Structure 1
Amino acid sequence: MSGTMNRGDDRPEEDVFKILIATDCHLGYEEKSNRGEDSFTTFEEILKYGKLHSVDFILLGGDLFHDNKPSQATVMKCMNLLRKYCLGTKPNKFQFLSDPKMIFKHCLNKTVNFEDANLNVEIPVFSIHGNHDDPSGPGQIGSLDLLSVTGLVNYFGKWTNLNEVQLAPLLFRKGCTNLALYGLSYIKDQRLSRLMRDGKVHMLRTNEIDDCFNIFVLHQNRAKHAENAFVPEEDLPNFFDFVLWGHEHECRIETEQVGKKHYHICQPGSPVATSLCQGEAVPKHIGILKVYKTGFQLQKHKLKTVRPFVFDTINVDDNNDIKIQPLEKLCNTIEYYVDNYIENVMMQTAAAQLSGDPRQPTLPLLRLRVFYTEEEQKFDTFRLEQKYVDQVANSGEIIRLRKKKSGWAKKVDFDDCDDDTDAIMEEALGCDEDEPEWNKTVQGGIRKYFAAGNKKHKLTVLSLTGLNEALSQFVNKGDSNAFDDIIEHQMKKTLEYISSKELETREEIADVIQEFRNERDNTNENEENQVRDFLNSSTRRVRQPAANLDVDDTAEDDCATKSNEDNAVRGRGRGRRARGRVGAASGRGRAKAPASISASKTVLIDSPTKSTRATKTKLTESAMQPAKQTSIAAHFPKSQKASSKPIYISDSDSNSD
């Protein structure tokens, strides 16, 4: 394709953007365990790469923190590392051309940090937020808002109007290269899918700059975990050149072109394993993106401080190496084989992953899944795991026994099974793996469970919608109070309904509660909106969340490079003056942008949020006893000739190419 950068190209450094890309750092993961420093060690290595290669800025794709409200120790360590590697007196070599009041209107300090007269920023960091560090509580404040106030991170892409999305780009210039950076922080996948389907997601483009290299950063499901719960990779606007995809933890650092689309997708994955699945066992990399005019080149760099992780699978029935002894119990024979396999295969594989870096943790993570069919094949995993308590970081969860059911082997490839979530939910909800639809989402499994005839009346005061929405808040945001609050809220609503009736006996109360539940179930869509509004309300009392659950389920040389002219399509496996620029004065004074770019026409979008405070009400125990996908935009216009002012044009106002 045209505009590519070849490996042999000798481009002037003052014209080439160098951008370090990473995502899903999950700082603070397993903070109180023996793995508590892993995320910080690897994050420091990432920042060191930025310093070593003198990148212009660092671009993060969300989930910088693992918890919605990280501990003070986690925030302190993060700030200390950013201060150590990103602050300095070395001048920046590029200009910021956008109106900061428009780009950072959600921030307290509406400016880009390297133009702040109170700061000396050597390597700016730009980041969106993910589902783990999603803002919540009064004012919708999140951890990235705190980092933004300190000036250590440029927080962009935050969107609070959930009825329509309009994204304006951050415009940069370095020499003859222009860069437009779009970012969309995490929005619940179902909601974003609906907005895309309704044509309410718009990308704004300036008509003042020609030949812009367009980058898009997002943090959403890439894999189809459920219907309308992902962003189809082929449905992004075709004017993008490069897409940085966050949220999915499998490292797919090599850029991938989707079909005949113009853009290339890069999925760096998470540098720290937050779930013991196959996708997390892929070697971890970050990338350095070089952009010259409209071409790019991606260098991948293998991370050397990642804890070794080996994922493997044994199928008892199909394994000819398991020798059955006539005088030995079958379970003991299998246990002996598994022990030998861990010791001589998995531990050796883990040892091969040691890079020699003194900061790399040496105790590996192991996950061995053993599939069996008969009960006599089961063995005591706890006894075996205790043998490795001093040799493996996750000694209490090395082995997972999974029972294979009839017909299961025909439908599931063992090597593609990434997590034990399905097995856990199957057991918890009593679902059969022969039923292929139940396990697309946990919420879908819950709906199916309570749809059964003998279980329809098990939920009386708490609604099914309330239960699923609280579960979503707990998993995605680490909101450990979601269940308590929604129960209290729906108890209050039930009490209000009961109080409106004249009742005398316990039986009458039970009948009225049943009546209220039936009315509520018949207005499911309205109730869903009410529940979401309550759980996202800024008036909910804020309490410290418990540790977050991570259910991300995804499917080399440092000098190796990847150009966008030799990519192969693959499927799925989760202003100041320019510093150092010719013509720029020395020092850290503000550059005078071209007259045609000095002012911006902003797009004002209101996002009011109203809610009422739920009051705590006691309820007597007796009263409780009864009972087709479309793209964001099909076509976009090319940049227009420069006029006196840069005007952002929405895709909805444009003509087709």
Structure 2
Amino acid sequence: MVQNESETWSSEDTLRVLIASDIHLGYLENDAVRGEDSFIAFEEVLSLAVQYDVDFILLGGDLFDHAKPSPSCMYKCTEIIRKYCFGDKPIGVELLSDQLQNFSRVINYEDPNLNISYPILSIHGNHDDPVGQGSISSLDILSITGLVNYFGKWSDYTQVRVSPVLMQKGETKVSLYGLSHLKDQRLSRLFGEKKVEMDLLEDNNDWFNILVLHQNRADRGHSNYIPESVLPKFLDLVIWGHEHDSQVFAIKDIKRENENFCVVQPGSTVATSLAAGEALPKHCVLLQLHKKEYILTPLPLKTVRPFIFKTVVLSEENLGEDNIKENERVQSFLKGKVEEAIEEANKIRSGDPKQPKLPLVRLSVFYEHEGQDFNRIRFGQNFNGMVANPNDILIMKREKKIREHKEKEEVEEVDMGRAAVEANDVESLLRTYYAAVPPEKRLAVLSVRAITEAVRDFTLKRDDGVFRRVLEGHRRRCVDFLLESTAETEDEVKQQIRLCKESLDATDEEQLKGIIEKAASRPKVVVESDESEPELEQSTESGRGRGRGTRGRAARGRGRGRGRAAAVEPPSPSPERRTPRRSAAQKTTMWLQNLTAERSSRRRRDSSEIEISD
């Protein structure tokens, strides 16, 4: 139930804003069951904007699930926006700030070629941030077509200065600060160095200050989140994107002097991971603002697929003492739990005809020993047609008791299945994996940081060439490092490679990226190996040489239709004088090739031994 404005609030002075975040359009779009979920929820959000006749819609990032949305995803997004946001309704909000500075172009509702009834203002998130040539975001495409007003985009990562979007409706004035997604570590460092500035208006007391950002809010380790304490105190309201659990409460208040700002965390509109936080009810938020007074009203989304999450600890359950196998008793018990969850999901259905029928169910199961484990995929097939996610209903984790922790050795083997569950993103999982592998299997040349960032850019930004650039950059950097040394023996080469990797690991993040990009962009330099050196004189002197004498080369040349080896006379018999640097380069090239082949073979053998349980 939406709380009405105070009787003293006139409609001409009351600004109404619909707030949503993390729409993730295109999530699992190729899934036959869940492919339409993100679009259905987005359509409901915009329909609520029309229902409550808001002045504009404010999105907190991650409108898209991928930085390069598919044509089908862009088509559906465009269709939905045009359906609900275009029209002849007059806009009562006046824009006072420099539009070119805020949006890089004229705001869409002031474009004479467009008829906009409900403008959308949005920052970008980590899933739809700029990528590729020209650093173009999917939001740039929507912006240039007049569908979305994109603000808060940054190109200078050494310092951030935010100029607000100034809007006014009657006597209500809003200064809207947009801070699109930056890497949490980078932004945390910039805050610590006092390099994040927000332009404060001279008559600030007359303005209601809103900040919308897309960063980690929960503590995920040192410098891997943004504490609320670093944000400016003059803010009245902070809209926090990126966190998917919805934390919004009905509020009617006015900020008093020396009080902290209010934080609104809308959460996602679609479940993109089967975690406990995603099972909370999904919302968007209606903000009603009159001068410095405001009302926040959560609006439950009725078209979201029902999701039930439960935790089961088998040691705390009575599984019976039947004569059947223990894992069969466990399966029978868990089947009952899944059936209970399906019934619970049916009870919380909204009744909206557009709400998907099949629920999401996830059981997080802690088991005591291997005898209680079983094939989870086969278990899930019992619920085909009953749940939307039959292949990942269960997540099994080994229960760890206190006494077991005390008995374990200092170096404990990492449970990658559990690490996969607890990891916040794929980068965290990779860092955990590389830290857990034995020393003899660890990366000898590549930087773990560069690899994890490459995986992130590939998965989120669809940057297909990132791995080639990173691998080529590391290889060339390593060769340069070796050429600058005087290493000749294999042990000396290994030592120099280790030093090269240590120097890369200790390099600042921005410098590391620059080193790799610079090395990868250089034209290739071919270093001739011993095979390309004139060895005919050696065969002349020894009669046999290395098995590559004149006779062998001439025969090989004739056999392949290459006459150059047979026709060209051997050079002067005086042997070439080789410097230690050239010798090291030749040995290094062969050694790196052998190392790469050996590691590739080892990875193929080891890949069958790594099993990450869901």
TM-score past 0.5 threshold = yes
CA distance, structure 1, for counterparts of residue 55 and residue 404 of structure 2: 50
In the alignment, the residues of structure 1 paired with residue 393 and residue 497 of structure 2 have an alpha-carbon distance, to the nearest angstrom, of: 48
Matched, 1:390 2:385: yes
Residue 119 of structure 1 aligns to a residue in which SS?
A: coil
| Residue 455 (structure 1) aligned with residue 450 (structure 2) | no
- In proportion to residue count, which structure has more helix? 2
Alignment deviations for residues 38-70 of structure 1 (CA, whole Å, 9 cap, x no partner): 100110010000111110000000000000111
Equivalence map 1:556-595=2 (5 Å): none
Matches within 5 A, 1:130-141: 130-141=125-136
Distance 1:117 1:431 in 2: 54
Gaps of 5+ in 1: 412-424, 538-609, 628-657
2:18 aligned residue:
20
CA distance in 2 between counterparts of 1:44 and 1:224 reads 32
Q: 1:486 aligns with which of 466, 470, 487?
A: 470
Moved more, 460-469 or 134-143: 460-469
Q: Which residue of 1 aligns with 2:502?
A: 521
- What do residues 570-628 of structure 1 show as CA deviations (whole Å, max 9, x unaligned)? xxxxxxxxxxxxxxxxxxxxxxxxxxxxxxxxxxxxxxxx997355678966423349x
Number of the residue aligned with 1:273: 271
Q: Is the 8 A contact 2:247 2:265 kept in 1?
A: yes
* Equivalent residue number for residue 59 of structure 1: 58
Give the direction of change, closer, same or farther, for the CA distance of 1:226–1:152 in structure 2 (3 Å limit). same
CA distance in structure 2 between the aligned counterparts of 1:497 and 1:522, rounded to whole angstroms: 10
1: CA distance between counterparts of 2:124 and 2:72?
A: 20
DSSP-derived class of the 2:475 partner: helix
Cα drift, residue 9 of structure 1: 3.6
Structure 1 residues 452 and 403: CA distance shift in structure 2, 3 A: closer
Task: Tell me the alpha carbon deviations over residues 124-164 of structure 1, each in whole angstroms, 9 at most, x when there is no partner.
Answer: 10000000001011111110000110011110001111111
Equivalent residue for 1:307? 305
Report how far residue 390 of structure 1 moved.
1.2
Q: Kindly state the Cα deviation for residue 406 of structure 1 after the two structures are TM-superposed.
A: 2.6
Does 2:605 correspond to 1:624? no
Cα separation, partners in 2 of 1:611 and 1:270, compared to 1, 3 Å = farther
Q: Say which of 364, 382, 386 aligns to 1:369.
A: 364
Computed over aligned residues only, the root mean square deviation of the Cα atoms, in angstroms, reads 3.2
Tell me the equivalent position of 2:320: 323
- Secondary structure of 1:521 counterpart: helix
The answer to whether the 8 A contact 1:164-1:200 is kept is yes
Question: Aligned to 1:428, which of 416, 419, 423?
Answer: 416
- Deviation at 1:384? 2.1
Give CA-to-partner distance per residue, 1:541-580, whole Å, 9 cap, x none.
xxxxxxxxxxxxxxxxxxxxxxxxxxxxxxxxxxxxxxxx
Distance in 2 of aligned mates of 1:311 and 1:525: 42
Cα distance, 1:448 vs structure 2 = 7.0
CA contact 2:305–2:357 (8 Å) conserved in 1 = yes
Cα distance, 1:443 vs. partner?
A: 5.7
- Tell me how far apart the structure 2 counterparts of residues 624 and 358 of structure 1 sit (CA, whole Å): 61
1:69-80 residue pairs with structure 2 within 5 A? 69-80=68-79
1:197 pairs with one of 182, 192, 211: 192
User: Aligned partners of 2:137 and 2:432: how far apart in 1?
Assistant: 35
Aligned counterpart, 2:329: 333
Distance 2:135 2:420 in 1: 40
Q: 1:449 to 1:389 in 2, by over 3 A?
A: closer
Whether the 8 Å contact between 2:43 and 2:80 is mirrored in structure 1 is yes
Q: 1:6-54, CA deviations, whole angstroms, 9 ceiling, x for partnerless residues?
A: 8644411110000000000000000100211110011001000011111
What SS class does the counterpart of residue 132 from structure 1 fall into?
Answer: coil
Contact 2:362 2:392 in 1 (8 A): yes
CA deviations 1:67-125 (Å, max 9, x no partner) are: 01111111111111111111111110110000112212xx3xx2111111111111110
Shift of 1:513: 5.3
Q: 1:468 aligns with which of 438, 452, 455?
A: 452
Letter matched to residue 196 of structure 1? F
- Cα separation, partners in 2 of 1:617 and 1:66, compared to 1, 3 Å: farther
Paired with 2:234 and 2:166, the residues of 1 have a C-alpha distance of 15
Q: Quick one: which amino acid aligns to residue 522 of structure 1?
A: S
| 1:613 partner letter | S
Following superposition, the deviation at residue 523 of structure 1 comes to 5.6
* SS, match of residue 245 in structure 2: coil
1:401 to partner: Cα distance: 1.2
Q: Percent identity?
A: 40
Matched residues in 2 for 1:352 and 1:534: separation? Answer: 57
- Going from structure 1 to structure 2, the CA distance change for 1:404 and 1:249 (only over 3 Å counts) comes to same
Residue aligning to 2:353: 358
3-state SS of 1:533 partner: helix
The letter for the 2-side match of 1:305 is T
Inter-CA distance 24–625: structure 2 relative to 1 (3 Å threshold)? same
The alpha-carbon distance between structure 1 residues 369 and 475, as it changes in their structure 2 partners (threshold 3 A), is same
Q: Secondary structure at the match of 1:243?
A: strand
Give distance in 2, aligned partners of 1:153 and 1:117. Answer: 16
Q: State the number of aligned residues.
A: 523
**SS at 1:405's partner residue?**
coil
Q: Match of 1:178, as an amino acid? A: K
How many angstroms apart in 2 are the aligned matches of 1:486 and 1:408? 44
Identify which range, 200-209 or 36-45, moves more after superposition. Answer: 200-209
Aligned to 1:421: none
Cα pair distance change 1:611/1:464, threshold 3 Å: closer
CA-CA distance at 1:457 after TM superposition: 7.0
The CA deviation string for residues 443-498 of structure 1, in whole angstroms up to 9 with x for no partner, is: 67766765689517732221233223324434554545433431122112223444
The answer on whether the counterparts of 2:447 and 2:504 sit within 8 Å (CA) in structure 1 is: no
Partner of 1:597: none
Instruction: Report 1:35-46 matches (<5 A).
Output: 35-46=34-45
Q: Which amino acid aligns with 1:427?
A: D
Compare CA radii of gyration and give the structure with the larger one.
Answer: 2
User: Per-residue deviation at 1:529?
Assistant: 2.7
Q: Out of 161, 165, 170, which is 2:165 matched to? A: 170
Residue 160 in structure 1 maps to residue 159 in structure 2: no
TM-score by length of 1: 0.73
Question: Which position in structure 2 is the counterpart of 1:585?
Answer: none
Partners in 1 of 2:369 and 2:446 — Cα distance?
Answer: 39
Aligned with 1:129: secondary structure? coil
- Give the letter for the 2:507 counterpart: N
After TM superposition, the structure 1 = structure 2 runs for residues 205-220 of structure 1, keeping only pairs within 5 Å, are 205-207=200-202, 210-220=205-215
Paired position in structure 1 for 2:219: 224
Partner AA of 1:342 in structure 2: V
Q: Are 1:187 and 2:95 an aligned pair? A: no
Q: Check 1:194–1:475 CA distance in 2 against 1; reply closer, same or farther (3 A cut).
A: farther
Q: Render the CA deviation track for 1:307-366: whole Å, top value 9, x for unaligned.
A: 11111111111113x2221x22111111111111211x1011111122111111101111
Aligned partners of 2:250 and 2:295 also within 8 Å: no
SS at match of 1:14: helix
Matched, 1:346 2:345: no
User: What CA distance in whole angstroms lies between the structure 1 residues aligned with 2:524 and 2:306?
Assistant: 49
Q: Which has the higher contact order (CA 8 A, sep 6+)?
A: 1
Distance between the aligned counterparts of 2:515 and 2:168, measured in 1? 44
> Retained in 2: the 8 A contact 1:93–1:174?
yes
Secondary structure at 1:205 match in 2: coil
In 1, the alpha carbon distance for the partners of 2:10 and 2:419 equals: 61
Give the corresponding residue for 2:87.
88
Q: Please list the CA deviations of residues 411-460 of structure 1 after superposition, one character each: whole Å capped at 9, or x if unmatched.
A: 9xxxxxxxxxxxxx943399899xxxx97987677667656895177322
Please give the per-residue CA displacement for 1:506-527, whole angstroms capped at 9, x wherever unaligned: x55x733540440441364436
Alpha-carbon distance in 2 for matches of 1:25, 1:329: 45
Within the alignment, does 1:290 sit opposite 2:293 as a pair?
A: no
Distance 1:116 1:274, change over 3 A: same
Q: Match of 2:77, as an amino acid?
A: C
Instruction: Describe the SS at the equivalent of 2:134.
Output: helix
Contact 2:481 2:496 in 1 (8 A): no
CA change 1:406–1:73 in 2 (3 A) is same
